[in-house]
Structure 1
Amino acid sequence: MPILVTKDLKLPSPPAIALRILEAVKKNDASFSDLARIIEVDPALTAKILKVANSSFYSMASQVNTIEKALSVLGLNVTKNIALSFVIAKELVVPVDGGFDFNSFWKRAVTSAVSAELLAARLSYRNDDLFVSALLQDIGVLILYLCRSDEYRQVLDEKRVSGRPILDIEQRIFGFDHQEVGAELLLEWGLPTTFADTIRHHHDSEGCPEKLRMQVDLLHWSSMLTSIYFGSRSVEMGLQLKAEICPRFKIKEEAIDLLIDMVAEKSVEILSFFEIDSGDMKPFSLLLQDANEELRRINLSYEQLVMQAKQARKKAEELATELLEANVKLREMAFRDGLTGLYNYRYFQELMDREVSRSKRHHLGLSLMLFDIDHFKDVNDTYGHPAGDQVLRNLAELVQSTMRISDIVVRYGGEEFAVILPSTDLPGCKVFATRLRRRVEEMETVVSGMSIRVTISIGVTGYDTAQNSLEKAVMIKTADSALYAAKNRGRNRVEVELLPA
């Protein structure tokens, strides 16, 4: 799976200073001064690390005023991880584009990291990598959005409306999920494999190696703690957290209540070091008090509250469904050709990416046809452009009535069309192309009493599962070459060209 992830997505390169930090700590003879020199090159990073070292999060007995002292007091690993946290977060902060709230993402990520550290301390568990692991546990979501924004908006819309697990939706649309993407990114960036292994299983502790079980559980609980402050089921999350932790570790529920409040207090402080606005983040106990005061002020009965909640929920579900339908229509409009109603060139490129990926992943055949109308300029010159438009519309209908449900036809541009045939070998595609050519030859378009007949030239290529490689650009180029061969050899014919070995 990791190989497929890297082929399907262009993963961002690691920040240069992160690489230097990682390379320094990998050396057996690495000293505090070596790492300090790398960090001190960046004054802003240095200031942030010193702020964290002197914060209530670590409660140092004396002032930490140099990176070397931070290294000696906190340790090499902790300081390295604090530095990496700041560097990676800074690198992947992107301006809000209306489809994804990057500020909210990082606010939740930092809160998860703080939650994991506080939980670990309460459970007497020590792991220097925990803060970074929790911070980056959902980094795959960010990468998927940055690399495939249109499709990931679809994931988010479906999640909001259906409530289905986001991993299931990602698997259906991409063939992999954000856990795998996050793990692969950290491996690409050269972080220790324990980071990747932990993140790869943070939604599935049952499938993780036993040695990582506690780390994965802590990430799971940190996510629940974060949902108390940023989710819509705060009370439910708090009860579930207590149910999972208290019996297992013999901890009283009151201790968890105190921990939940402490998460807010510490998160506000750490968020300020990341230069992220914490908003009106208050301890959960205060939020409950405020909510109770508001209920008393409004003086609503229990029955009224239930009725209002039901009505609000129904209205929200209706609005969410309408929004999802509207988004689907907008996507359709963006991907449709206005004249023929077929998918357009933009959709063709995205679909080819998906089908090429699917064919390689599942070892399935894939064929591609490119064809255009012979001497179409003569049709426009002789009968006029409205007549030419009618020919294009009729041809589009004919192709759709000829092909299988699984095949996709697009208007590639002008009088040129493309047909993608999933799970189809080259001989099968040639049979279809020949049948289509004959049907077009028999097609008649009547405009203002005038009969118009056209022919098409078709170029065909296909991927055989026995071949070693399949690349979208090569496949399109090969089909295009076959099309030109058909035109050069007299038109109204089918030419087949094999993909290069």
Structure 2
Amino acid sequence: MNEEQILETWEKNPELLLPPDYFRQILSLNFHPATDGQLTDRLIPFISSRFDQFIPILDAAPFLYPAKCSTPEDLLKTVNLGVLRNLSILSWFQEGKFTQLNDPINFDYWKKEAYVSASISQSLAKMLALENTADAFTLVFLKDIYLLPLSRSFPKLFEALVKLDIHQRVKPAEQEKILGAYPGDLSAWILQRWGFPESFTLPLRKNTSEKDEMILEKIILFSRYIAEYVLNSESHFHYCDIENLFQLLFNLDARQFQELLIEVIRFLPKQAVYAGFPEFADLTILEVLKDHLDFFDKKLLSYHDLMNEAFKAQRKMFHQSKEIHQLKMQIERHYIRDITTGLYNHTYFQEFLGQKIGEACRYEYPITLILFDLDNFRTFNRENGYNIGNELLKQISELIKKNIRQSDIFARFGGDEFAVVLPYTGLPQSKMVAEKIKKLITDFEFRDPQQNELYKITVSMAYASILPDKSYLQDEKLVNLVLKALKRSQKSGGNALIEASA
């Protein structure tokens, strides 16, 4: 494969990646100032529809966008057209209309990498006193635009690029070995088709010779490393690696690199939400500089900044704690809870009982197991339907759950059989608890929600209270003991409570 073959394929599919009309109109204004003034008027509806989105993005970084705008007309007149171009890029990529469900590229990550690297590069261009910092944003954001059509038209080539390790992936020369073409040349070709002049795309191309283009080329290279460092918590690049590269490329010192990062991370979270990247809202300086905390000694952060960082970290920990709790609840629902009743399932009951019997053996305390079965439940199900039967099981479960200790375990043992484990409980307390559960159920009146009929429920019950020895750790000895007593209770006609004896 070579550049000619790739470009020939893309030529045959001109709609592979076309920008919206508003973007092409802005490019026309940007690079062809003599354009008819009517074009400016046609942009007003586009700016008006996104004005509430654009203004917070500009306000978040006043050092980059000092102009204040109160109307869409002000924005078009006072803001650098390069800035408007970048706002339209963010708007276009936020829409994501050119992506397809079966695209092999991870578009969300690609977009995040483009945004973070472009934002840092624009601030870096300002630090380097480049004339138009907005150009740095555009070039860096679109530096890998070739990946979008490549993933669709040459999936095997794209797959080979994805398999590169990170140290190879950030180096265009390594990608060129796979593509047979310099990646920046492919992106430059796309940008020129959109309406960017050739001179604008020179920093993307191989072997740029002009001084200004060389600086932008270095910024583009640096952006690959810094984005990987910021976005990937398990990055193979460390702070000192990025700092050394910064000093080597731009002849600036370590303090200036820290100032660059802190400046960006101050405005990025505020700007990101409106730019379509809400996941960066809680990004903190501490998180980015996690392995280089001596920046505190250099007094780059004010007390106010430190407090903001602390509050951000606290807010993030709260959200993460909430997510962990929700995940834990989901795991419980799927793996240790019965779907119908919400009680612990049979598997968890067996594990818990075995654990508690072991503890009772070791520390010599009593333990009680109660089993009960709803009398004539199969007949009830047949006559009323399984939905009504399930509702009965739910209501019985809630009734008992409210009337036992938190240290006790209430589980669904089988279809209409339930189990209660009472640690630290022997006679006569166990008999009192069993009688209480029986009375709760026999006094309970179940109302059929469909027929509005009342039903009285009875149960067959059995229990055993033991001071276990090691023999109870094998062959479900306690469970089998209580099950035998439960069968006697059922055979007696139901509505009975029997104490099991060894």
Q: TM-score, normalised by structure 2?
A: 0.49
Q: TM-score, normalised by structure 1?
A: 0.49
The structure having more radius of gyration, on CA atoms, is 2
